Chain A
Amino acid sequence: MKMKLALFCMLTATVAMPAFAQSKPVEPPGGKYAKDAEQMFLSSFRADNPKYWMARLEQDETMKTCGLYRDNPPRKVAEQLEKLNRATIRYPVDGKLIGDWKEGQKLAAVGTGGHIGFIQPDPPGRLRGGNCYACHQLAKAEVAYGTIGPSLQHFGKLRGNSEEIVKYAYDKIYNSNAFTACTNMPRFGLHSWLTPEQITHIVAFLIDPESPVNKD
């Protein structure tokens, strides 16, 4: 944690310097009203939201920086962010990165979990899924897939199951920003949205030759 903080600070320093003189800089969202907007945004939430809910509005350096650049940071800034995020990746205790594809299949389809608020919160203990199909094509049988992310159909079939590929899949799910700063994909491991073990199940869903991602 301390190391993470240190890295964040380093990054802040980098961003503060005019390191992005490559192309015409885009105006940060909100322009001269950005500060007012931040204050207005934070004061717009119901007073009865518990503090630990409100904590979800805090931004880490990656979030802040991505917003500033409308998710399109200059290469140098992006590299800093990627380095910072790479350092956060943790692995399962037993070191095994391929879990049970059937569990992974379930997690890929589940889009619930983690909703708060007073109107339609998730019941306590509701499974938090990866919601992979919201953005990716995976098993052929599931026609209701999104296209925000690339198709992952035949992921293992096309890329094999080398140690390198397996590790890449795990790392990408754990912290997508380790590879592409400001990508649309959540950082599932960093936020403990998915446990390392759950991530290995999704890896198996992508890699295992028996998984419907590869078989059909």
Chain B
Amino acid sequence: MAKELMMTGCRAAAEGAKAAEVEVICSYPIRPYTAIMMELAKMVANGELNAEFIHGEGEHAQVSVVLGACASGARAYTGSSGVGVTYAMEVYSPMAGGRYPAQMSIADRTLDPPGDFGSEHTDAMSTRDQGWLLGWACSPQEVYDNTLINYRVGEDHRVMLPQMVCQDGYFISHIPDKVILGDQSQVKEFLPPYRPISPLSTTEPVSHGPQIRPDQGAPMDAARAQTFLAVPKVIEEATADFNRIFGRNYDPFVEQYKLEDADIAFFIQGAHSNTCRTSVDRLRKQGVKAGMARLRWVRPWPTHQLANALGHVKAVGVVETSTSYGGAMRGGNLVHELRASLYDLEQRPLVTSFMAGLGGETIWPADFDYMAKVLTEMVKEKKTRNYVYWIGM
């Protein structure tokens, strides 16, 4: 029986991993994701989960361990935060190139210096070009759901790619919220067992990852690019199945909130979308036609879906919780890709970037009011005055 409980995003991620019956888990402590592993450790110790729980000697080892496990045919799970995510950087590309569909659960944390436990998306965003599936949840419920959806998509033989399931540190990872846990029969119906392609084996020996010549590199890259063209369809199928089996209502790529008749829109991902949603309601009451587009997948990036969702809006404010120092708009990462996605529209919305929530700072309802004011002025003036606004600065 499905049951509703109050739990944090960390517990929800662990519940998702348990529901997926992960087989090899590799841990290393770093705040704020640590509780995911604490919860899993209890489940293994209690015999609720038949898995190997390995204490990695660092994040680099964590990803390496799940690489080896996944290559051997086991469903593997790990996770990290902040500088832990970047410490493992070397192994992301072999993981994706070897087509090992393990999962990494990220609770975001600001990169050093100085040590800051607050949430910022730059940690996982900095891995976005390594060939992993990457996306953000906006609630503990969605963390649980994304854990299952990501395994289903990543392990699909049309995909076979590792996945990063991200949640904001503290806001999602540490604040309990209602989560409906699926019944194991629902999980079984949705998520088939992991079927590896040519795993390491004693009966059918294989070589994983031999050297290639430069002229063999381009076909390999092309094959991976081809895979990413196929991923959206798999995501659509998986999301539809998930909605049907678990009774949810996800848009596969972009949550569209009151966008139909919106003049201005916020483009956002992760936890702050909840404050944004209520702000949209408040702004609407004040007569401002606001809306919100919430991104669920950064990789693959839903170019067409965003163009369709936001094409009719007059001004879009990208609420960024990541940094891209010296980048084209001097803002975060999302604005570049959103602007590029809208470029080919006949009538493009005006786009600016709002640097907000950095270092884990709260984004207040009043901040959204201010952003709405900026966007409304842009609409009035019919121009983008600044590429970027630092909220509160």
Same assembly: no
Chain A residues in the interface with B (C-beta under 8 A):
none
Chain B residues in the interface with A (C-beta under 8 A):
none
